[in-house]
Structure 1
Amino acid sequence: MLRAIVVLGFILVLISAVVFGGRWLQPTDKTLPAVDQPVCDLLAAPCEWQTDAGQWRVALQRLGDAGQGEEYQLTVLTPAAPKRFLAVLRGESMYMGEYPVPMRHDGGDSYSAHFTAPFCTTDGEMIWRIDLQEGQELLSDVVPIKLVFQASDHSAS
């Protein structure tokens, strides 16, 4: 009798976990950026937007392949001087981790960084998203658009 009660209890717990488990595992963080943000291709043209603090401008330029992959220069003009300003590369078309790129203060409202985007070994075309952060804090409240670019593995061709 006791064995039947234990087995029945285990089955009820298992069914409850299956039914309600999806709700428990869903993220509750409402600070994540909106999924339907407008997209701006940084290699097509600089991205600009206006905030209460002033005008933002983000530009990305290809510098060429120095043997370790395609190098890029990211330039950000910002009306506010963030402390510990970072650009974080995140795979948009495929998750490949997160790559923080520290932004160097060039004086005034200008910041820049040089980086090489990692490339995917299974697909030579990779779309990356650049998220601007102040330390660990995502600047989603001042960046209303999704900043993306497509990196190519030219060494594979």
Structure 2
Amino acid sequence: MLRAIAVAGLILGLIAVAVFGPRMLGDDEEDPETGTVNESAAANTRCDLLQDSPCRWSDSSGDWEVSLSKLGEGTQGMEYRLTVVTPEHPERFLAVLRGESMYMGEYPVPLGNQAGNEYAARFTAPFCAVDATMTWRIDLQQGQKPIEGIPVKLVFQAEPH
């Protein structure tokens, strides 16, 4: 009886290692030469668009690059320019702003094609009365469907008015 329990425990342990082992051993590091994040990196690897810009990665369709720059104070707060270089030509390409430090809804920002595979948008991040230094996440979508396989979480900290 004791042997059966030991064998069952060993089998469960091997299954657990097979399932969780690759995640625990994953390499989340960025290649210093290219600036791209290893594809095995967890999706929670953060790329601060104002500090680390541009954020780069590669997937099966090619190379991506996302950058964010401040344009200056507008009538409704700090204005930003988001630029995305894609390996494809997505239709109805959107960047969706979502509160990272607290939930404040979703704000779709349509990205317009500039030239070739470069898309851009100008926007003002919504103002948060509770946290003046709100952290926002940008999720890329094609229409209503999120773009899969982005190995980084694109974030930035909005400046207070």
Kindly indicate whether residue 139 of structure 2 is the aligned counterpart of residue 131 of structure 1: yes
Which residue is equivalent to 1:14? none
In the TM superposition, what whole-angstrom CA distance separates every residue of 1:121-154 from its partner, at most 9, and x where no partner exists? 122110000000000000132x11100000021x
Identity of aligned residues (%): 57
Q: Say which SS state the counterpart of residue 158 (structure 2) adopts.
A: strand
Which residue is equivalent to 1:109? 117
* Deviation for aligned residue 1:67: 2.5
* Deviation for aligned residue 1:58: 0.1
Which residue is equivalent to 1:85? 93
Alpha-carbon distance in 2 for matches of 1:97, 1:122: 14
Query: Do the aligned partners of 1:89 and 1:130 also contact (CA within 8 Å) in 2?
Result: yes
Over 6 Å off, 4+ runs: none
Query: Do the aligned partners of 2:70 and 2:79 also contact (CA within 8 Å) in 1?
Result: yes
- Aligned pair in 2 of structure 1 residues 90, 82: CA closer, same or farther (>3 Å)? same
Query: Do the aligned partners of 1:119 and 1:152 also contact (CA within 8 Å) in 2?
Result: no
Equivalent residue in structure 2 for 1:94, among 90, 102, 108: 102
* Deviation for aligned residue 1:36: 5.4
Q: Say which SS state the counterpart of residue 125 (structure 1) adopts.
A: coil
Question: What is the RMSD of the two structures over their aligned residues, measured on CA atoms?
Answer: 1.5
* Deviation for aligned residue 1:94: 0.5
Which residue is equivalent to 2:157? 150
TM-score between the two structures when normalised by the length of structure 2? 0.71
Alpha-carbon distance in 2 for matches of 1:53, 1:140: 11
In structure 2, list runs of 5 or more residues that go unmatched.
Answer: 1-40
TM-score between the two structures when normalised by the length of structure 1? 0.73
Paired residues in the alignment total: 120
In structure 1, list runs of 5 or more residues that go unmatched.
Answer: 1-33
- Where does 1:7-86 land on structure 2 (aligned, <5 Å)? 37-44=44-51, 45-86=53-94
Rg larger in structure: 1
